[in-house]
Structure formats: structure tokens, C-alpha cells
Amino acid sequence: MAELDTGGGGGKKGGKPRGKKASTRIDMTAMVDLAFLLLTFFVLTTTISKPNVMPVVIPPKVDPNDKEEVEPPKVAETKILTLILGQSDLIYAYPGILDPASGKSPEVLTINFDPKKLRTLIKERQNIVKGQFGDAKELIVLIKPLSTSRYNNMVDILDEMNISEVKKYTLAELNDNERELIVAQKEPENVQDIAK
Amino acid sequence: MTAMVDLAFLLLTFFMLATNFKAEEAAEVETPKSISDTVIPERDIMMITVDDSGRVFFGIDNRDSREAMIKKIASANKWTLNEDEVKAFALETSFGMSFGTLKRWMSLPPNEREQIPQTGIPCDTLINELPQWLVQGRYAHKEVKGTDLRVVIKADKNTKYPAISNIIETFRELRIHNFALITSLETDPRDDN
């Protein structure tokens, strides 16, 4: 491989007496290897750093003079699935409308972001909606993040909407009935149950 | 052989320098993952960065727009700024300070500016300075380049939701309904079938 020859040449110049110099030969293979390694590294890192974006559309502000709930009032209840994002990456999910006063209390499922749980739940709901209304796309998902949830939870849910091809979803605020529900649910003992 | 080594070092130096064009960020942020593969637009973006403690930073990627923006903010808040202060502000791609802190920051000499901690732009129910930056930023950019800015949020995965919720509410008030979240790419689970 390439070599540097520093010293052997001095002895060649004829005539003048020169002292004996030990000829040193440097093998540059290692340095070249390192140079190519660093080069490959930098070439590759420039391609990785391009960030991706996830577009988000939010509904316009509800007029405060209009006292109606955020959920559109004329929608069939069975089309709605509510996902409340809580702390420690937990999701409280329930179908339909929560209204203890009128006796409607759907079962609240506590799950986490495990695809086997979340994705299957959404798929189930889509199948039910498809059976009743003929089109899985009629499913409406209301996403209500609590103040104890992380931004990562919100992005994961929006991502899940894309993966499961849910077309109708929105970020919304908790209503009063849900607030009571959350206070009742807020315990870490649930974490052991769903962690399995 | 030595020629090849020379070339290798030349390429190496080039790439080392080329990768440094990314601007110095005010805060380290680890974005969450998503399957979204839309690439970030090259220019004309207004970036709101939120770190995991909820500090809000704001930046536009065009220097002239930043200059125009700070001049508008100054006249809206009745400040007087000299040329040096305007230039100093326009150098920073992203910043996170309240109006008061910013004014002080600009009046300091360059070596003392690092001393001021950037606590973020106040964006909560009590004080919200973000709308002014958003509005003046849009106008400034429109004046300078004639195009609209895309609004983008870059937040850390562990940021608590209220900080993000405040920003989204601010957008709603300003009737910004279309924006984007910066995420890192992860493989689509549907592709595994």
C-alpha cells in the first residue's frame, strides 16, 4: 500500500559524506481506512437528518354563545368511540355516549398503546359500525387527551387513526360526565392489569 | 495511492463542513415517531419548538423575515430598537423569551447575551405572547418574500399535553386550522403483511 519514504533518499545524493540515517517507512493503510470510515459516516448522516411532518387539521372554534356540546348532536351514538388519553400511556375507551343520568353507561375499557389492544379495539368498533351502517368509515373517534398525558400519546393516537384508516376523528374536550369517570378510574392499580 | 488519499480527505472535509449548515437549536428535542412520510418543506416554515419542560421557542427560517418581524413587534409594543439590536435578533433562528427578557437580551453586548436563560415564550391562559409573534411573523414574511408560512410544531415526546393544548388553542383563536407536527419516521405496520 502507499508508503512514505522519509530518510532512505538522503543517502542517495552522491558526493558529500552523509551520516547514516535509518530509513523509516510508514504504512498508511490504517489512516486511509479511517479516512474512508469517517467519510462514509458523514455521507450517511446527512441523509438521515431530514425530519418528517404529520399534517393536522383542527376544527374551527366553537362560538361561546352557542352552548351545545362539542359532539355533533344529531349523530347516532353507536358510531362514536371515545378515547381518553391518561397518564402513564393509558387510554380509557368507551363506545357511544356516557350519560349516567339517563342510564346510559357503556363499558369503559382501560388499555394501553399496545397494537394488539388498541388496534383490535378500533377494528372491532369499525366492524360493528360497518354491520350497522354499511361502511366502516362512518366510525367517529373522539380523542380527549388529559393534562397528565404526554405529547407522544397524542401523536401515537393520530398515527393510529392513519394506520387504521379512521377518516372521522377529532381532538375534543372532556365533558362533565367523563370528568367524574376519570376521577373514579385514576389508579395505578389498573396498570398492572393491562400490562399483561 | 497518495492521490486517492488526498481525494478521500478532500471529500471528508467537504462533508464535515456541509453537515454543519443545520442551525444551532435553542433546545434539544426528541420528536415522537409516526408513520407519516411527508417530508418537511425546505423553506417558508414557522417553527414552534417545545421542549419537555414546556418551554416554547419560536423561529422563522428566513433572516430577512426575522428582521422585518422584530421591527413590527417593536412598533406594536412601542419599543425603540437600533440597528445592532435588530441584527442581533435576526441572527438567531429560534428563540424563547418573553418580551421583557427579549428587550433586555437585545440591549446587552454579545458576550453577555448567553447569560440570560431562555425560559420560553409565555403561552398559557394568563399571559400569551405567542399570538403576536405568529401574526407579525406572517405579515413580515409576506412582505419580504410574498409567500405564506407553514406553521409547524416540533415538540418533545415527553412534553405534557397542556403545553401543546395551549398552542393549539392559540392557533384556533388565530384561525390557523392547518399545521403540521414534526415526527421521526417509523415503519408502517401495514407494510409487514
Per-residue pLDDT of B117-130, as tens digits, reads 888 888 888 888 99
Q: What is the full per-residue pLDDT of chain B (193 aa) written as tens digits?
A: 788 888 888 888 888 777 654 555 666 788 888 888 788 777 788 989 998 888 899 988 888 888 999 889 888 888 888 888 888 888 888 888 888 888 888 888 888 888 888 888 888 888 889 999 999 999 988 888 888 888 999 999 889 999 999 999 899 888 888 899 988 877 777 775 5
Q: Does residue B163 form part of some domain?
A: yes
**Interchain CB distance below 8 Å, B172 and A154:** no
What residue numbers bound the domain in which A147 lies?
77-194
For residue B36, give the nearest of A31, A49, A54 by CB distance. Answer: A54
Domain count, chain A: 1
Q: What does the pLDDT read at residue A191?
A: 45
Q: How far is A180 from chain B (nearest CA, A)?
A: 20
Q: Does residue A11 form part of some domain?
A: no
Q: What does the pLDDT read at residue A194?
A: 44
Q: Does residue A33 form part of some domain?
A: no
The answer to whether B161 faces chain A, any CB pair under 8 Å, is yes
Q: How far is A194 from chain B (nearest CA, A)?
A: 22
The answer to whether A47 faces chain B, any CB pair under 8 Å, is no
The answer to whether B159 faces chain A, any CB pair under 8 Å, is yes
Residue of chain A nearest B31, judged by CA positions = A152
Residue B161 identity: Y
For chain A, what percentages of helix, strand and coil (3-state, to nearest 5) are there? Answer: 45, 20, 35
Which residues of chain A lie closer than 8 angstroms to B43, CB-CB? none
Identify the CATH number of the domain in which residue A178 sits: 3.30.420
Which residues of chain B lie closer than 8 angstroms to A47, CB-CB? none
Q: Does residue A139 form part of some domain?
A: yes
C-alpha torsion B119→B123→B125→B128, nearest 10:
110
User: Is pTM beyond 0.80 here?
Assistant: no
| Cross-strand bridge partners of residue A93 | A83, A109
Residue of chain B nearest A157, judged by CA positions = B34
| pLDDT tens-digit readout, A92-131 | 888 887 776 666 677 778 888 888 888 888 888 888 888 8
Hey, what's the cell of B182?
414534526
Domain count, chain B: 1
Q: Does residue A9 form part of some domain?
A: no
Residues 6+ apart with CB under 8 A from A88: A188, A191
Q: How far is B106 from chain A (nearest CA, A)?
A: 31
Q: What does the pLDDT read at residue A195?
A: 42
Contact between A93 and A109 (Cβ < 8 Å): yes
What residue numbers bound the domain in which B178 lies?
40-186
Q: How far apart are CA A115 and CA A120, in angstroms?
A: 7
Q: Does residue B51 form part of some domain?
A: yes
ipTM, 2 decimals?
A: 0.77
Q: Does residue A186 form part of some domain?
A: yes
Residues 6+ apart with CB under 8 A from A78: A95, A96, A128, A129, A132
Q: Does residue A51 form part of some domain?
A: no
The answer to whether A26 faces chain B, any CB pair under 8 Å, is no
Q: Does residue B8 form part of some domain?
A: no
